[in-house]
Amino acid sequence: MEIFISKDNCTGCKKCTKACPYGALVLIDGKAAVNDRCTACGACLTVCKTRAIISNVKEREIPAFDDRKGVWVFVEQTEGHIHKVTLELLGIGQILAASTGQELSAVLLGNNVYHCLDTLKEFGAKNVYFCQHPGLENYQTASYSKIISEIVQNNKPNILLIGATPIGRDLAPRLAIRLEVGLTADCTELAIDQRDGTLLQTRPAFGGNVMATIKSPYSRPQMATVRPGVMKATRTMGSYELNVIEKKAHLSPQDTPIDVLERINQKGKNIGLENAKVIVAAGRGAASEKGIKFVFALAEALGGEVACTRPLVEEGLLPLERQVGQTGLVVKPEIYIACGISGAIQHKAGMSDSRYIIAINSDKNAPIFGVADWGILGDLNEVVPTFAAAITRRAERREK
Ligand SMILES: Cc1cc2nc3c(=O)[nH]c(=O)nc-3n(C[C@H](O)[C@H](O)[C@H](O)COP(=O)(O)OP(=O)(O)OC[C@H]3O[C@@H](n4cnc5c(N)ncnc54)[C@H](O)[C@@H]3O)c2cc1C
Protein backbone atom coordinates (compact mmCIF):
# COMPACT_ATOMS: atom_id res chain seq x y z
CA MET A 1 0.00 0.00 0.00
CA GLU A 2 1.22 3.51 -0.74
CA ILE A 3 0.00 6.85 0.57
CA PHE A 4 -0.50 9.89 -1.68
CA ILE A 5 -1.53 13.46 -0.87
CA SER A 6 -4.08 15.41 -2.87
CA LYS A 7 -2.66 18.92 -2.52
CA ASP A 8 -5.98 20.40 -3.67
CA ASN A 9 -7.84 18.79 -0.77
CA CYS A 10 -5.16 19.35 1.91
CA THR A 11 -5.96 22.22 4.26
CA GLY A 12 -2.71 21.92 6.24
CA CYS A 13 -4.66 21.11 9.42
CA LYS A 14 -1.77 18.91 10.75
CA LYS A 15 -4.12 16.16 11.97
CA CYS A 16 -2.18 13.61 9.89
CA THR A 17 1.25 14.79 11.03
CA LYS A 18 0.14 14.38 14.64
CA ALA A 19 -1.47 10.97 14.01
CA CYS A 20 1.53 9.46 12.20
CA PRO A 21 3.50 7.34 14.73
CA TYR A 22 6.58 7.31 12.48
CA GLY A 23 7.02 11.02 11.68
CA ALA A 24 6.42 10.19 8.02
CA LEU A 25 4.11 13.13 7.33
CA VAL A 26 5.43 16.67 7.35
CA LEU A 27 4.06 20.03 6.28
CA ILE A 28 5.82 21.58 3.28
CA ASP A 29 4.52 24.96 2.11
CA GLY A 30 1.40 24.42 4.22
CA LYS A 31 0.54 21.07 2.61
CA ALA A 32 1.11 17.52 3.91
CA ALA A 33 3.91 15.53 2.30
CA VAL A 34 4.98 11.90 2.80
CA ASN A 35 8.61 11.03 3.42
CA ASP A 36 10.47 7.71 3.28
CA ARG A 37 9.61 6.80 6.89
CA CYS A 38 6.08 5.87 5.78
CA THR A 39 5.17 2.25 6.60
CA ALA A 40 1.69 2.64 5.09
CA CYS A 41 0.14 1.83 8.48
CA GLY A 42 -2.91 3.90 7.53
CA ALA A 43 -3.12 5.93 10.78
CA CYS A 44 -3.34 9.15 8.72
CA LEU A 45 -6.22 7.88 6.58
CA THR A 46 -8.66 7.75 9.46
CA VAL A 47 -7.94 11.28 10.76
CA CYS A 48 -8.05 13.17 7.47
CA LYS A 49 -11.47 14.78 7.18
CA THR A 50 -10.93 16.40 3.77
CA ARG A 51 -10.01 13.21 1.86
CA ALA A 52 -6.59 14.67 1.08
CA ILE A 53 -4.86 11.39 1.92
CA ILE A 54 -5.34 8.64 -0.59
CA SER A 55 -4.17 5.05 -0.52
CA ASN A 56 -3.86 2.82 -3.55
CA VAL A 57 -5.57 -0.08 -1.82
CA LYS A 58 -9.29 -0.58 -2.10
CA GLU A 59 -11.04 -0.99 1.24
CA ARG A 60 -11.61 -4.68 1.97
CA GLU A 61 -15.16 -5.77 2.30
CA ILE A 62 -15.99 -7.06 5.78
CA PRO A 63 -17.59 -10.52 5.63
CA ALA A 64 -20.90 -11.06 7.48
CA PHE A 65 -19.85 -14.05 9.66
CA ASP A 66 -23.51 -14.81 10.49
CA ASP A 67 -22.64 -18.47 11.09
CA ARG A 68 -20.08 -17.61 13.81
CA LYS A 69 -21.59 -17.96 17.25
CA GLY A 70 -20.30 -18.27 20.78
CA VAL A 71 -17.65 -16.99 23.15
CA TRP A 72 -15.11 -19.74 23.86
CA VAL A 73 -12.48 -20.07 26.56
CA PHE A 74 -9.56 -22.51 26.39
CA VAL A 75 -9.31 -24.38 29.72
CA GLU A 76 -5.72 -24.52 30.88
CA GLN A 77 -5.27 -27.40 33.31
CA THR A 78 -2.22 -29.16 34.65
CA GLU A 79 -2.67 -32.54 36.32
CA GLY A 80 -6.39 -31.78 36.56
CA HIS A 81 -5.94 -28.39 38.28
CA ILE A 82 -7.55 -25.55 36.37
CA HIS A 83 -5.33 -22.46 36.06
CA LYS A 84 -7.01 -19.44 37.64
CA VAL A 85 -6.69 -17.45 34.40
CA THR A 86 -9.29 -19.83 32.90
CA LEU A 87 -11.80 -18.79 35.58
CA GLU A 88 -10.95 -15.12 34.95
CA LEU A 89 -11.52 -15.63 31.21
CA LEU A 90 -14.87 -17.25 31.97
CA GLY A 91 -15.62 -14.10 34.02
CA ILE A 92 -15.04 -11.71 31.09
CA GLY A 93 -16.54 -14.36 28.79
CA GLN A 94 -19.85 -14.07 30.68
CA ILE A 95 -19.89 -10.32 29.98
CA LEU A 96 -18.98 -10.73 26.30
CA ALA A 97 -21.55 -13.51 25.86
CA ALA A 98 -24.27 -11.28 27.38
CA SER A 99 -23.25 -8.34 25.13
CA THR A 100 -23.36 -10.46 21.97
CA GLY A 101 -26.40 -12.53 22.96
CA GLN A 102 -24.31 -15.68 22.44
CA GLU A 103 -23.40 -18.61 24.69
CA LEU A 104 -20.26 -19.05 26.74
CA SER A 105 -18.39 -22.30 26.12
CA ALA A 106 -15.19 -23.86 27.42
CA VAL A 107 -12.79 -26.14 25.56
CA LEU A 108 -11.34 -28.78 27.86
CA LEU A 109 -8.63 -31.21 26.76
CA GLY A 110 -6.85 -33.70 29.01
CA ASN A 111 -6.99 -37.17 30.47
CA ASN A 112 -9.14 -38.09 33.48
CA VAL A 113 -10.36 -34.52 33.85
CA TYR A 114 -14.13 -35.12 34.26
CA HIS A 115 -13.98 -33.41 37.65
CA CYS A 116 -13.12 -30.07 35.96
CA LEU A 117 -16.61 -29.88 34.42
CA ASP A 118 -18.32 -28.81 37.67
CA THR A 119 -15.89 -25.92 38.13
CA LEU A 120 -16.42 -24.74 34.55
CA LYS A 121 -20.18 -24.66 35.11
CA GLU A 122 -19.73 -22.89 38.46
CA PHE A 123 -17.83 -20.13 36.65
CA GLY A 124 -20.39 -19.63 33.91
CA ALA A 125 -19.74 -22.10 31.04
CA LYS A 126 -22.96 -23.25 29.36
CA ASN A 127 -21.25 -25.75 27.05
CA VAL A 128 -18.00 -27.65 27.31
CA TYR A 129 -16.26 -29.07 24.23
CA PHE A 130 -14.55 -31.96 25.92
CA CYS A 131 -11.82 -34.23 24.63
CA GLN A 132 -10.10 -36.89 26.73
CA HIS A 133 -7.17 -39.02 25.53
CA PRO A 134 -3.97 -40.33 27.18
CA GLY A 135 -2.02 -38.31 24.58
CA LEU A 136 -3.63 -35.13 25.94
CA GLU A 137 -2.59 -35.76 29.55
CA ASN A 138 0.21 -33.18 29.33
CA TYR A 139 0.06 -30.07 27.20
CA GLN A 140 1.90 -30.48 23.92
CA THR A 141 1.83 -27.89 21.17
CA ALA A 142 1.17 -30.27 18.28
CA SER A 143 -1.62 -32.35 19.85
CA TYR A 144 -3.45 -29.46 21.52
CA SER A 145 -3.31 -27.16 18.49
CA LYS A 146 -4.48 -30.01 16.22
CA ILE A 147 -7.49 -30.99 18.34
CA ILE A 148 -8.57 -27.44 19.21
CA SER A 149 -8.30 -26.25 15.61
CA GLU A 150 -10.46 -29.22 14.51
CA ILE A 151 -13.09 -28.41 17.14
CA VAL A 152 -13.04 -24.72 16.16
CA GLN A 153 -13.31 -25.47 12.44
CA ASN A 154 -16.28 -27.78 13.01
CA ASN A 155 -18.16 -25.53 15.44
CA LYS A 156 -17.28 -22.00 14.25
CA PRO A 157 -17.07 -19.85 17.40
CA ASN A 158 -17.11 -16.07 17.19
CA ILE A 159 -14.52 -15.39 19.91
CA LEU A 160 -11.75 -17.58 21.39
CA LEU A 161 -9.93 -16.48 24.56
CA ILE A 162 -6.72 -18.00 25.91
CA GLY A 163 -4.66 -17.11 29.00
CA ALA A 164 -1.37 -15.33 28.32
CA THR A 165 0.52 -17.94 30.35
CA PRO A 166 3.56 -19.79 29.02
CA ILE A 167 1.20 -22.51 27.69
CA GLY A 168 -1.26 -19.98 26.24
CA ARG A 169 1.54 -18.00 24.62
CA ASP A 170 2.71 -21.19 22.95
CA LEU A 171 -0.72 -22.43 21.90
CA ALA A 172 -2.44 -19.24 20.70
CA PRO A 173 -0.07 -18.34 17.81
CA ARG A 174 -0.04 -21.96 16.59
CA LEU A 175 -3.83 -21.98 16.55
CA ALA A 176 -3.97 -18.60 14.81
CA ILE A 177 -1.72 -19.92 12.05
CA ARG A 178 -3.71 -23.14 11.66
CA LEU A 179 -7.01 -21.24 11.58
CA GLU A 180 -5.59 -18.38 9.46
CA VAL A 181 -6.94 -15.72 11.82
CA GLY A 182 -5.53 -12.72 13.65
CA LEU A 183 -4.42 -12.83 17.27
CA THR A 184 -4.18 -9.99 19.78
CA ALA A 185 -1.75 -10.98 22.53
CA ASP A 186 -1.61 -9.78 26.13
CA CYS A 187 -4.93 -7.93 26.25
CA THR A 188 -5.83 -6.02 29.39
CA GLU A 189 -9.39 -5.08 28.39
CA LEU A 190 -12.02 -6.76 26.22
CA ALA A 191 -15.39 -5.37 25.18
CA ILE A 192 -17.90 -5.60 22.38
CA ASP A 193 -18.22 -2.75 19.88
CA GLN A 194 -21.95 -2.07 20.04
CA ARG A 195 -21.93 -0.66 16.50
CA ASP A 196 -20.88 -3.84 14.71
CA GLY A 197 -20.60 -6.52 17.41
CA THR A 198 -16.86 -7.04 16.95
CA LEU A 199 -14.46 -7.67 19.81
CA LEU A 200 -12.49 -4.64 21.02
CA GLN A 201 -9.15 -5.97 22.21
CA THR A 202 -7.14 -3.46 24.21
CA ARG A 203 -3.48 -3.97 25.07
CA PRO A 204 -0.47 -1.81 25.93
CA ALA A 205 1.62 -0.82 22.93
CA PHE A 206 4.83 1.12 22.25
CA GLY A 207 6.43 -0.02 25.52
CA GLY A 208 3.23 0.60 27.45
CA ASN A 209 3.10 4.29 26.58
CA VAL A 210 -0.21 3.97 24.74
CA MET A 211 -3.15 1.60 24.96
CA ALA A 212 -4.06 0.22 21.54
CA THR A 213 -7.56 -1.09 20.82
CA ILE A 214 -7.45 -3.70 18.08
CA LYS A 215 -10.24 -5.32 16.06
CA SER A 216 -10.11 -8.35 13.77
CA PRO A 217 -13.00 -7.61 11.39
CA TYR A 218 -11.88 -9.91 8.55
CA SER A 219 -11.53 -13.27 10.28
CA ARG A 220 -13.21 -15.52 12.85
CA PRO A 221 -12.82 -16.55 15.59
CA GLN A 222 -11.57 -13.28 17.02
CA MET A 223 -8.67 -14.53 19.11
CA ALA A 224 -7.07 -12.87 22.10
CA THR A 225 -4.77 -13.84 24.94
CA VAL A 226 -5.30 -12.16 28.31
CA ARG A 227 -2.78 -11.84 31.10
CA PRO A 228 -3.51 -13.61 34.40
CA GLY A 229 -4.82 -11.38 37.17
CA VAL A 230 -6.43 -8.80 34.88
CA MET A 231 -10.03 -10.08 34.61
CA LYS A 232 -12.36 -11.04 37.43
CA ALA A 233 -13.55 -14.61 37.95
CA THR A 234 -17.29 -14.66 38.73
CA ARG A 235 -19.24 -17.57 40.15
CA THR A 236 -22.75 -18.10 38.76
CA MET A 237 -25.78 -19.73 40.31
CA GLY A 238 -25.47 -22.37 37.59
CA SER A 239 -29.14 -23.45 37.72
CA TYR A 240 -28.92 -25.07 34.30
CA GLU A 241 -27.74 -28.33 32.84
CA LEU A 242 -24.19 -28.16 31.53
CA ASN A 243 -24.07 -29.20 27.89
CA VAL A 244 -21.03 -31.45 27.43
CA ILE A 245 -20.04 -32.09 23.83
CA GLU A 246 -17.57 -34.97 23.78
CA LYS A 247 -15.08 -35.16 20.94
CA LYS A 248 -12.94 -38.11 19.95
CA ALA A 249 -9.22 -37.47 19.55
CA HIS A 250 -7.29 -39.16 16.75
CA LEU A 251 -3.64 -38.66 17.54
CA SER A 252 -0.73 -40.08 15.60
CA PRO A 253 2.76 -40.47 17.16
CA GLN A 254 3.76 -37.26 15.31
CA ASP A 255 1.07 -35.39 17.26
CA THR A 256 2.68 -36.30 20.59
CA PRO A 257 6.40 -36.12 19.88
CA ILE A 258 7.35 -35.59 23.55
CA ASP A 259 7.28 -38.25 26.27
CA VAL A 260 6.85 -36.61 29.68
CA LEU A 261 8.80 -38.83 32.08
CA GLU A 262 8.37 -36.82 35.27
CA ARG A 263 7.03 -33.46 36.37
CA ILE A 264 9.18 -31.61 38.93
CA ASN A 265 7.83 -28.41 40.42
CA GLN A 266 10.52 -25.78 40.78
CA LYS A 267 10.97 -25.00 44.45
CA GLY A 268 10.64 -21.47 45.74
CA LYS A 269 9.45 -20.10 42.38
CA ASN A 270 5.88 -19.48 43.39
CA ILE A 271 6.02 -16.55 45.75
CA GLY A 272 2.25 -16.18 45.60
CA LEU A 273 2.15 -12.45 44.87
CA GLU A 274 -1.07 -12.79 42.88
CA ASN A 275 -2.91 -13.96 46.01
CA ALA A 276 -1.14 -11.76 48.60
CA LYS A 277 -3.42 -9.46 50.61
CA VAL A 278 -0.58 -7.05 51.43
CA ILE A 279 2.35 -6.24 49.14
CA VAL A 280 5.28 -4.03 49.99
CA ALA A 281 7.10 -3.13 46.79
CA ALA A 282 10.66 -1.89 46.40
CA GLY A 283 11.62 0.54 43.66
CA ARG A 284 14.95 2.00 42.62
CA GLY A 285 14.77 4.31 45.64
CA ALA A 286 15.14 1.18 47.79
CA ALA A 287 17.75 -0.47 45.57
CA SER A 288 20.36 -1.02 48.25
CA GLU A 289 21.00 -3.81 50.72
CA LYS A 290 19.66 -1.59 53.50
CA GLY A 291 16.60 -0.44 51.54
CA ILE A 292 15.62 -4.00 50.59
CA LYS A 293 16.09 -5.14 54.19
CA PHE A 294 13.70 -2.39 55.34
CA VAL A 295 11.13 -3.43 52.71
CA PHE A 296 11.29 -7.10 53.77
CA ALA A 297 10.95 -6.09 57.44
CA LEU A 298 7.83 -4.03 56.71
CA ALA A 299 6.32 -6.87 54.67
CA GLU A 300 7.00 -9.30 57.52
CA ALA A 301 5.45 -6.94 60.09
CA LEU A 302 2.31 -6.72 57.96
CA GLY A 303 2.23 -10.43 57.06
CA GLY A 304 2.65 -9.49 53.42
CA GLU A 305 4.87 -10.25 50.43
CA VAL A 306 7.64 -8.29 48.74
CA ALA A 307 7.39 -7.14 45.12
CA CYS A 308 9.62 -4.86 43.07
CA THR A 309 9.99 -2.81 39.93
CA ARG A 310 11.92 -3.94 36.87
CA PRO A 311 15.19 -2.09 37.58
CA LEU A 312 15.68 -4.18 40.75
CA VAL A 313 15.34 -7.37 38.72
CA GLU A 314 17.68 -6.02 36.06
CA GLU A 315 20.25 -5.18 38.72
CA GLY A 316 19.95 -8.73 40.09
CA LEU A 317 18.72 -7.50 43.48
CA LEU A 318 15.43 -9.43 43.40
CA PRO A 319 14.15 -12.28 41.20
CA LEU A 320 11.81 -11.87 38.23
CA GLU A 321 9.05 -13.67 40.17
CA ARG A 322 8.74 -10.53 42.30
CA GLN A 323 8.44 -8.06 39.41
CA VAL A 324 5.11 -6.28 39.07
CA GLY A 325 4.07 -4.54 35.89
CA GLN A 326 3.61 -4.86 32.20
CA THR A 327 6.35 -7.46 31.81
CA GLY A 328 5.86 -8.87 35.30
CA LEU A 329 2.84 -9.86 37.35
CA VAL A 330 -0.53 -8.17 37.68
CA VAL A 331 -1.51 -7.97 41.34
CA LYS A 332 -4.61 -6.77 43.18
CA PRO A 333 -3.86 -6.86 46.91
CA GLU A 334 -5.89 -5.09 49.57
CA ILE A 335 -2.85 -2.90 50.35
CA TYR A 336 0.07 -2.08 48.04
CA ILE A 337 2.87 -0.06 49.60
CA ALA A 338 5.16 1.42 46.94
CA CYS A 339 8.56 2.31 48.44
CA GLY A 340 10.81 4.48 46.27
CA ILE A 341 8.79 3.78 43.10
CA SER A 342 8.30 6.62 40.62
CA GLY A 343 5.08 5.22 39.10
CA ALA A 344 6.03 4.54 35.48
CA ILE A 345 3.08 3.45 33.32
CA GLN A 346 4.66 -0.01 32.89
CA HIS A 347 4.73 -0.51 36.65
CA LYS A 348 1.23 0.91 37.22
CA ALA A 349 -0.08 -1.60 34.64
CA GLY A 350 0.55 -4.30 37.23
CA MET A 351 -0.70 -2.70 40.46
CA SER A 352 -3.14 0.15 39.89
CA ASP A 353 -6.16 -2.09 40.64
CA SER A 354 -4.93 -2.66 44.21
CA ARG A 355 -7.62 -1.72 46.73
CA TYR A 356 -5.51 0.77 48.69
CA ILE A 357 -2.20 2.17 47.49
CA ILE A 358 0.28 3.83 49.84
CA ALA A 359 3.24 5.57 48.20
CA ILE A 360 6.44 6.53 49.99
CA ASN A 361 8.60 8.80 47.89
CA SER A 362 10.97 11.73 48.46
CA ASP A 363 9.86 13.50 45.26
CA LYS A 364 6.54 15.31 45.64
CA ASN A 365 6.06 15.23 41.85
CA ALA A 366 6.48 11.44 41.54
CA PRO A 367 3.62 10.11 39.35
CA ILE A 368 2.95 7.29 41.83
CA PHE A 369 1.22 9.88 44.04
CA GLY A 370 -1.36 10.23 41.22
CA VAL A 371 -2.66 6.67 41.84
CA ALA A 372 -2.00 6.55 45.60
CA ASP A 373 -4.78 6.70 48.22
CA TRP A 374 -2.21 7.89 50.76
CA GLY A 375 1.12 9.52 49.99
CA ILE A 376 4.04 9.82 52.38
CA LEU A 377 6.59 12.39 51.26
CA GLY A 378 9.92 11.44 52.78
CA ASP A 379 13.05 9.31 52.78
CA LEU A 380 12.06 5.65 52.76
CA ASN A 381 15.13 4.81 54.83
CA GLU A 382 13.43 6.69 57.66
CA VAL A 383 9.75 6.11 56.88
CA VAL A 384 9.81 2.35 56.19
CA PRO A 385 11.61 1.23 59.40
CA THR A 386 9.48 3.65 61.49
CA PHE A 387 6.34 2.22 59.88
CA ALA A 388 7.51 -1.40 60.49
CA ALA A 389 8.42 -0.65 64.12
CA ALA A 390 5.01 0.96 64.76
CA ILE A 391 3.18 -2.07 63.28
CA THR A 392 5.30 -4.49 65.34
CA ARG A 393 4.72 -2.47 68.55
CA ARG A 394 0.98 -2.47 67.91
CA ALA A 395 0.93 -6.22 67.28
CA GLU A 396 2.88 -6.80 70.49
CA ARG A 397 0.46 -4.60 72.49
CA ARG A 398 -2.46 -6.62 71.09
CA GLU A 399 -0.82 -9.89 72.10
CA LYS A 400 -0.42 -8.73 75.72
C1 LIG B 1 8.66 -2.47 27.49
C2 LIG B 1 8.88 -2.10 28.91
C3 LIG B 1 8.33 -2.90 29.88
C4 LIG B 1 8.53 -2.59 31.23
N5 LIG B 1 7.98 -3.39 32.17
C6 LIG B 1 8.09 -3.04 33.46
C7 LIG B 1 7.46 -3.81 34.48
O8 LIG B 1 6.84 -4.84 34.23
N9 LIG B 1 7.57 -3.39 35.74
C10 LIG B 1 8.26 -2.26 36.10
O11 LIG B 1 8.31 -1.94 37.29
N12 LIG B 1 8.87 -1.52 35.17
C13 LIG B 1 8.82 -1.88 33.87
N14 LIG B 1 9.46 -1.15 32.93
C15 LIG B 1 10.36 -0.07 33.39
C16 LIG B 1 9.60 1.22 33.69
O17 LIG B 1 9.50 1.98 32.52
C18 LIG B 1 10.36 2.07 34.72
O19 LIG B 1 11.66 2.32 34.26
C20 LIG B 1 10.43 1.43 36.09
O21 LIG B 1 9.17 1.01 36.53
C22 LIG B 1 10.99 2.44 37.09
O23 LIG B 1 11.23 1.79 38.30
P24 LIG B 1 11.36 2.60 39.64
O25 LIG B 1 10.11 3.36 39.90
O26 LIG B 1 11.82 1.63 40.66
O27 LIG B 1 12.60 3.56 39.36
P28 LIG B 1 12.67 5.12 39.11
O29 LIG B 1 11.78 5.52 38.01
O30 LIG B 1 14.10 5.45 38.99
O31 LIG B 1 12.08 5.76 40.44
C32 LIG B 1 12.72 5.71 41.67
C33 LIG B 1 11.88 6.54 42.64
O34 LIG B 1 12.44 6.43 43.93
C35 LIG B 1 12.34 7.70 44.58
N36 LIG B 1 13.37 7.70 45.59
C37 LIG B 1 14.73 7.68 45.43
N38 LIG B 1 15.34 7.65 46.63
C39 LIG B 1 14.36 7.65 47.57
C40 LIG B 1 14.33 7.61 48.99
N41 LIG B 1 15.48 7.53 49.70
N42 LIG B 1 13.15 7.65 49.64
C43 LIG B 1 11.99 7.69 48.94
N44 LIG B 1 11.94 7.72 47.58
C45 LIG B 1 13.12 7.69 46.92
C46 LIG B 1 12.57 8.69 43.45
O47 LIG B 1 12.00 9.96 43.80
C48 LIG B 1 11.86 8.04 42.30
O49 LIG B 1 10.51 8.47 42.21
C50 LIG B 1 9.29 -1.44 31.59
C51 LIG B 1 9.82 -0.64 30.59
C52 LIG B 1 9.62 -0.96 29.27
C53 LIG B 1 10.20 -0.07 28.22
CATH of the domain at 233: 3.40.50.620
Total domains in the chain come to 3
What are the pLDDT digits (tens) for 186-239? 999 999 999 999 999 999 887 667 789 999 999 999 999 998 888 999 999 878
Question: What is the pLDDT, as a whole number, of residue 239?
Answer: 83
Residue 283 beta carbon below 6 angstroms from any ligand 1 atom: yes
With CA atoms as reference, report the closest residue to 331 among 189, 232, 229, 257: 229
Residue 105 beta carbon below 6 angstroms from any ligand 1 atom: no
Pick from 190, 221, 255: which residue ends a domain?
255
> How far is 333 from 335, CA to CA, in rounded Å?
5
In a domain, 61, yes or no: no
Claim to verify: residue 48 and residue 139 sit in the same structural domain = no
Claim to verify: residue 322 and residue 379 sit in the same structural domain = yes
Q: Is 362 helix (H, G, I), strand (E, B) or coil?
A: coil
- Mutation choice for ligand 1 from 188, 310, 315, 331, CB with most ligand atoms inside 8 A: 310
Neighbours of 213 (CB within 10 A): 14
What is the domain range of residue 202? Answer: 71-255
Please identify every stretch of the chain with a pLDDT value under 70, giving residue numbers as ranges: 207-208, 266-270
With CA atoms as reference, report the closest residue to 298 among 326, 328, 340: 340
Claim to verify: residue 109 and residue 147 sit in the same structural domain = yes
Question: What is the pLDDT, as a whole number, of residue 395?
Answer: 84
Residue 370 beta carbon below 6 angstroms from any ligand 1 atom: no
Nearest CA to ligand 1 atom 50: 346
Question: What is the pLDDT, as a whole number, of residue 247?
Answer: 96
Domain CATH for 340: 3.40.50.1220
In a domain, 65, yes or no: no
Rg (CA), the chain: 25
In a domain, 239, yes or no: yes
Residue 96 beta carbon below 6 angstroms from any ligand 1 atom: no
With CA atoms as reference, report the closest residue to 339 among 283, 277, 278, 273: 283
Question: What is the pLDDT, as a whole number, of residue 208?
Answer: 67
360: Cβ contacts below 8 Å, ≥ 6 apart? 337, 338, 339, 340, 376, 378, 380, 383, 384
In a domain, 261, yes or no: no
How far apart are the CA of 140 and the centre of ligand 1, in A?
Answer: 37
| Bridge partners, residue 223, by sequence | 160, 183
User: Of all atoms in ligand 1, which is nearest to the CA of residue 328?
Assistant: 8
CA 67 vs CA 35, 155, 249: distances in Å: 44, 9, 25
Claim to verify: residue 227 and residue 327 sit in the same structural domain = no
Claim to verify: residue 324 and residue 387 sit in the same structural domain = yes
> How far is 91 from 49, CA to CA, in rounded Å?
40
Pick from 221, 255, 289: which residue ends a domain?
255
Nearest CA to ligand 1 atom 47: 363
> How far is 193 from 196, CA to CA, in rounded Å?
6
In a domain, 63, yes or no: no
> How far is 206 from 389, CA to CA, in rounded Å?
42
With CA atoms as reference, report the closest residue to 74 among 6, 3, 136, 11: 136
In a domain, 373, yes or no: yes
- Mutation choice for ligand 1 from 295, 346, 352, 357, CB with most ligand atoms inside 8 A: 346
Claim to verify: residue 117 and residue 33 sit in the same structural domain = no
Claim to verify: residue 26 and residue 111 sit in the same structural domain = no
Claim to verify: residue 7 and residue 128 sit in the same structural domain = no
Claim to verify: residue 218 and residue 90 sit in the same structural domain = yes
Claim to verify: residue 302 and residue 245 sit in the same structural domain = no
> How far is 292 from 381, CA to CA, in rounded Å?
10
Nearest CA to ligand 1 atom 30: 284
What are the pLDDT digits (tens) for 150-170? 999 999 999 999 999 999 999
Nearest CA to ligand 1 atom 11: 309
Residue 166, preceding peptide bond in cis (omega within 30° of 0): no
Question: What is the pLDDT, as a whole number, of residue 244?
Answer: 98
Claim to verify: residue 119 and residue 161 sit in the same structural domain = yes
Residue 208 beta carbon below 6 angstroms from any ligand 1 atom: yes
How far apart are the CA of 400 and the centre of ligand 1, in A?
Answer: 41
Question: What is the pLDDT, as a whole number, of residue 35?
Answer: 94
Residue 327 beta carbon below 6 angstroms from any ligand 1 atom: yes
Biggest CA pair distance of the chain: 85
Claim to verify: residue 247 and residue 290 sit in the same structural domain = no
